[in-house]
Structure 1
Amino acid sequence: MRLIFTFLLLSANFFYAQKQLPDSLKRFGYAELKKKFNDYDENDKIQESKIIAKYYLLKAKLERNNLQMAEGYILVHFNEDFPQAMKYIDSVFIVTKNAKESSYEAIAYRMKGNLYYKNDNLKAALDNYIISLKHAQKQKDQKLIAYANLNIAYINSHIGRNVEAAKMFRHYYDSKELSESEHNQTRINLINCYIESDQLDSVNVLIKEGLDYSAKNQNKYSNSQYLYLSGFSYLKQKKYEQAIQEFSKSYDYFSSIEDNNANYVLYSLGKSYEGLNDKKKTVEYFTKLDANVEKTNITFPDLRDVYTFLIDYYKENNDTQKQLYYIDRFLKVDKKLDEQFKYLSTELPKKYDTPNLLREKENIIKDLNNNKTGLYASISVLGLILILFIYLYYKSKKTEKEYRKIAQDLIHSIEKKHMESVENQKHEIVREEILPQIEEEEEEEELVEAEEAEEILVEMRDRSGNSLSEDVTKSILKDLNTFESKGHFLKKGITLASLAKTIKTNTAYLSEVINTQQGKNFTTYLNDLRIDYVSERLLEDKKLRSYKLPAIADELGYNNVQAFATAFKKKTGTTPSIYIKEIENAMAS
């Protein structure tokens, strides 16, 4: 009964406060009420902030003050569910329709964008942020321009454009246009972008600043965000145990308030345990994450890793039912993520990047109109840029044509190689059936020649004293042949040292055999094996050609797509994407 009694007591106190609080608020003006709302909201005092917001709106309605009614609708929408919140924001448009103060259009569209973003409709979020930015620019309101730019930066970060997003966050983080709490939120997003793009140099300093801010303001929510970022930094550095400690503290808080940040923490906890090779713990956190995602339908790109891990795990454990379940979940989530990514990656440059560039161009031309000499100079510069652009365009076209020709030649050479292999097999059959006697005589001659060559080689080794013994060389070559034939070169993290350890030799011997027998160093040898393998496999396997380049790179054992693309270009002289495209063209014709 103790728990029930405590709940009833708290409920009674709350209703008493709800009844009494408005009377105590009558002496406050709108600015003071808004400050109180912000203080309560930032410290997770949701019920108190709700009361303030409703009183603010009621006060504005009684006084028939449309602009303050708009502010009231904005305040009350923060702690409502999606449909009700949308109704409140639509009310902002209605009460400010005839107002001279037109900044509310920019504000309302941004609020709608935030609601869509929170509910994982990134397409609608981006469209509303773009409209908000246009209204803010029309009003020349630098504060609202900053808000819209920061919101669009959030979307850039969400789809992996962290370098672009970090530039925007850094710009406003260093500016004086934001309030203390807005500055703090910008710092959080800046840290996240730095970690995602492996720019870890400034992360620790920024996290310490954030933790100090959270302690000073007694802000548990903000403190938990910085604990998560601290864990994320450790995870990137593969310091898994430290990461788990920070994530666990962060998760305790976010899960207690049912905040969506808990899902990011669950993902990171799972990845940390995966790094420790603790599959059971990884499955525990990934399963919990999937349950949350299914309930809220709020996704994020890293979920693909979650489902591929769970699918592989249950496949290894012969649990077909769960394997099929997570395949189905993967397909649903992947479809949604793919649709969002395609839309955002197309619309962001078209609706945001290009207009910004055009606006910069217009500003340059406008400034030049005030200075005739500067005008001519700038036109000359723009002309040179145009010429350079045309040159680079035609050069890129020429290069692409060369790459396509190389790709076509590569396809033909592989096909020819396959045909020759078939012919060789036929000839081998003929040799076995028709020419056994000739072959026996040839073998005897070759044996004599081999013995003579071996005597010369032994003599040369005895003179030089540098070459490996024949037994050692043969043993290493045999192991390398197994390494190649069984496709072990596709495993991740292979180094000269790890391979030497696997085949029970040392790096000096292994390096010498590869250099003398293959005529290349270990890195080139490994890359050549992988690229030769994928060149043939892409030609034969339509399913592999449908994969995105990062997935292909991962199958080949590369840590990132850049390393794969560089190795492919170096070996073949063309790019993976053009090679795949030319295969598709060849298959279609």
Structure 2
Amino acid sequence: MLASANSLAMSTQMDKNSKAAITEETDIEKRKRLANQYIQSIKSKQDTIALADAYLFLSEAFSHSTKAVSYADSIIQLTKHLKDNPTYPAEGYLQKGIQLYYTANYDSALKNYLLADAYYKNEKNELKQLIIKHYIGLLKNNTNERDEALLIFKENIKFFDSEENRRQHKRQYLKSLYALATAYVFSKELDSAVYFSKTGINESLQQTDRYLYPHFLFAYGGALFWQKHYKASIDSFAKGLSLIPNKKISVCMVYINISTAYDSLGNQSKTFEYLHKVDSIYHEEPQVVLQAEEAYQTLLKKYQQSGNTKKQLEIINKLLAVERVIKKRPKNLSRKIVEHYETPRLLEEKERLISVLKKENDRSMTYIAISGTMGVALFLLFIRYYQRDKRNKRRFEELMQTTNTGTTQNTINPDQSVLDISETVVKDVLHKLRKFEQDKGFLDPGLTAVQLAAHLDTNSKYLTKIIKYHKKQSFIYYINNLRIDTIVVQLKENPKLRNYTLKALAEEAGFNSTDVFSKYFNKRTGISPSYFIKQLRTAKKIS
């Protein structure tokens, strides 16, 4: 929605030929020249809002590129001193965050989302806050917090239960549908994945520009793949690819999926062909580094199986190069999302509820009623405290009786077909995981599924599937539960550790955040680390 009557007039008077050329022109140099000509014509009018609208249009026209980020920056520089404007500079920060996400600069994307969100909360703009939450969900996908991302997308889609919201905000509705369909593919909830993919396909076909139609084909292809309809999934992927040749990250992800589908069909030449296509794109588009890493890991495994030493060396050199690039990227994105986005919202909700309760009490309670209520509340709190204390003591005693040393048992099911991975590979990975657990490799605070997969000479997809099937937990819970089991044993055996601060204990256990450490300790043991340490000290004094 444009910000003023002047900018609305500017939009309607825009040279139609120039606008079409900017949007559809395939020659990038010509597009830049036309864009600059248009900007100069707007600058001459000295209309700040009209110029900001023009930069926003151009940022969207050059979407998924550093040029788009540059145009969004221009919006911010132009409007950052505006006050009480409902559109700018908030739209500039949001657009910059979106384009940084599309160019795989996730930490900087988060910073800009937070800046935009501060404006939109003040304006009570529900739609814009939903859009920011949508992109936070996408960031969580990139930190392998798939379950939390799915919850975000489920919550967002409720906004569109209203027919009016679906009609007024059609493009965001389609984005939310696509995110939800993809999240269901990731979680292997395939009936839901198929349903929302087909819903998205039907909805996008009703739009004149068929917005996100190829992406819904990708989601549908992913669901078909996990249902083992490999040929149908390849057809769906290929149809989508023919419609979005310029979005390189999406293209590379689909190439990897197609190669995996061909591998399942036993067509090795096609498997190699699509993996090498990812390699070719990486040479031109460095933002696809994560997809390149996955492709190289698979290629290396293939060449090891075939005994091609020369190719193995070539791929190892490429894999080392991309890992050097990845190591330079900022870490702890997940912690930043919790600290700067989720925690402030919980605190705000807490204050709101306190305020509501206070008003209700002021209106409806006399002194006697309050006193009576407080008496009942104190009694209930006493009962609750007694029960909680009893429960905590029982859990502490159970912890003291366990002998877990930070390793897990493999649950070998003779039916390996559900994994769609060879039994030899599964056994090899499980054997290496046991060695990884014994060596306490999980204490590395920067450990990711991709890094561990590379260490175990496999790929991240295989690794996470094997962990989920045999360890009965996600990768994140698997690593963090190992860390908690280890620190519990150390606290029992080493009295010096009981004098550590929670922050120091968190670092000792391989966590970057005290809050995350406490969260997983509580989930794993049923009690807080502070309570566990206090009971250990008490037990020592008694003995």
TM-score by length of 2: 0.66
User: Pick from 263, 279, 292: which aligns with 1:290?
Assistant: 279
**Can you list the C-alpha shifts for 1:68-121, whole angstroms capped at 9, x where unaligned?**
221112112333485554443333234322444154132111122122112211
CA distance in 2, matches of 1:244, 1:283: 15
1:204 counterpart residue number: 194
**Can you list the C-alpha shifts for 1:159-178, whole angstroms capped at 9, x where unaligned?**
33233223333333332276
1:20 counterpart residue number: none
Offset at 1:337?
A: 4.9
Offset at 1:235?
A: 0.9
2:333 counterpart residue number: 344
Which ranges in structure 1 are unaligned for 5 or more consecutive residues? 1-25, 412-486, 500-526, 568-573
2:32 is equivalent to residue 76 of structure 1: no
CA distance in 1, matches of 2:346, 2:150: 18
The answer to whether the 8 A contact 2:7-2:49 is kept is: no
Give the secondary structure class of the aligned counterpart of 2:242. helix
2:467 is equivalent to residue 561 of structure 1: yes
1:107 counterpart residue number: 91
Bigger shift: 310-319 or 86-95?
86-95
2:181 is equivalent to residue 275 of structure 1: no
2:53 is equivalent to residue 64 of structure 1: no
- Tell me: CA distance 1:566–1:403, structure 2 relative to 1, closer, same or farther (3 Å): farther
Give the secondary structure class of the aligned counterpart of 2:149. helix
Offset at 1:287?
A: 1.3
Identity %: 19
1:318 counterpart residue number: 307
User: Pick from 73, 76, 82: which aligns with 1:93?
Assistant: 76
User: Pick from 162, 177, 192: which aligns with 1:187?
Assistant: 177
- What letter matches 2:404 in structure 1? I
Offset at 1:123?
A: 0.9
2:240 counterpart residue number: 250
- Tell me: CA distance 1:385–1:367, structure 2 relative to 1, closer, same or farther (3 Å): farther
Offset at 1:310?
A: 0.9
Offset at 1:191?
A: 0.9
CA distance in 1, matches of 2:173, 2:15: 17
1:23 counterpart residue number: none
1:425 counterpart residue number: none
CA distance in 2, matches of 1:326, 1:89: 37
The answer to whether the 8 A contact 1:158-1:300 is kept is: no
The answer to whether the 8 A contact 2:297-2:458 is kept is: no
Offset at 1:134?
A: 1.6
- What letter matches 1:88 in structure 2? Y
CA distance in 1, matches of 2:20, 2:390: 56
1:407 counterpart residue number: 405
- What letter matches 2:348 in structure 1? R
CA distance in 2, matches of 1:396, 1:306: 49
- Tell me: CA distance 1:131–1:244, structure 2 relative to 1, closer, same or farther (3 Å): same
User: Pick from 416, 425, 431: which aligns with 1:493?
Assistant: 416
User: Pick from 353, 376, 382: which aligns with 1:364?
Assistant: 353
Give the secondary structure class of the aligned counterpart of 1:202. helix
Give the secondary structure class of the aligned counterpart of 1:254. coil
The answer to whether the 8 A contact 1:173-1:183 is kept is: yes
- What letter matches 1:109 in structure 2? Y
CA distance in 2, matches of 1:332, 1:579: 35
CA distance in 2, matches of 1:389, 1:72: 63
Q: Compare CA radii of gyration and give the structure with the larger one.
A: 1
- Tell me: CA distance 1:43–1:211, structure 2 relative to 1, closer, same or farther (3 Å): farther
The answer to whether the 8 A contact 1:234-1:243 is kept is: yes
1:138 counterpart residue number: 122
Which ranges in structure 2 are unaligned for 5 or more consecutive residues? 1-5, 160-164, 474-479, 494-507, 509-543
- What letter matches 2:224 in structure 1? Y
CA distance in 2, matches of 1:237, 1:576: 32
- What letter matches 1:309 in structure 2? T
1:121 counterpart residue number: 105
1:473 counterpart residue number: none
- What letter matches 1:95 in structure 2? L
Offset at 1:576?
A: 4.3
Give the secondary structure class of the aligned counterpart of 1:238. coil
The answer to whether the 8 A contact 1:77-1:84 is kept is: yes
Offset at 1:493?
A: 1.0
**Can you list the C-alpha shifts for 1:219-260, whole angstroms capped at 9, x where unaligned?**
3562222221211111121211111111122222323x4643
- Tell me: CA distance 1:46–1:283, structure 2 relative to 1, closer, same or farther (3 Å): closer
**Can you list the C-alpha shifts for 1:347-381, whole angstroms capped at 9, x where unaligned?**
11111221121111111112122111789789969
CA distance in 2, matches of 1:318, 1:287: 18
The answer to whether the 8 A contact 1:112-1:128 is kept is: yes
- Tell me: CA distance 1:27–1:92, structure 2 relative to 1, closer, same or farther (3 Å): closer
The answer to whether the 8 A contact 1:490-1:530 is kept is: no
- What letter matches 1:493 in structure 2? Q
The answer to whether the 8 A contact 2:218-2:240 is kept is: yes
- What letter matches 2:416 in structure 1? G
CA distance in 2, matches of 1:493, 1:542: 27
- What letter matches 1:329 in structure 2? K
The answer to whether the 8 A contact 1:57-1:69 is kept is: yes
- Tell me: CA distance 1:363–1:303, structure 2 relative to 1, closer, same or farther (3 Å): farther
CA distance in 1, matches of 2:313, 2:133: 42
- What letter matches 1:407 in structure 2? T
2:9 is equivalent to residue 29 of structure 1: yes
CA distance in 2, matches of 1:539, 1:202: 35
The answer to whether the 8 A contact 1:159-1:341 is kept is: no
Give the secondary structure class of the aligned counterpart of 1:146. helix
User: Pick from 134, 137, 151: which aligns with 2:135?
Assistant: 151
- What letter matches 2:299 in structure 1? L
Offset at 1:311?
A: 0.9
Structure with greater helix percent? 1
Offset at 1:122?
A: 0.7
CA distance in 2, matches of 1:225, 1:565: 33
Bigger shift: 40-49 or 293-302?
40-49
CA distance in 2, matches of 1:109, 1:389: 49
2:296 is equivalent to residue 307 of structure 1: yes
- Tell me: CA distance 1:307–1:392, structure 2 relative to 1, closer, same or farther (3 Å): farther
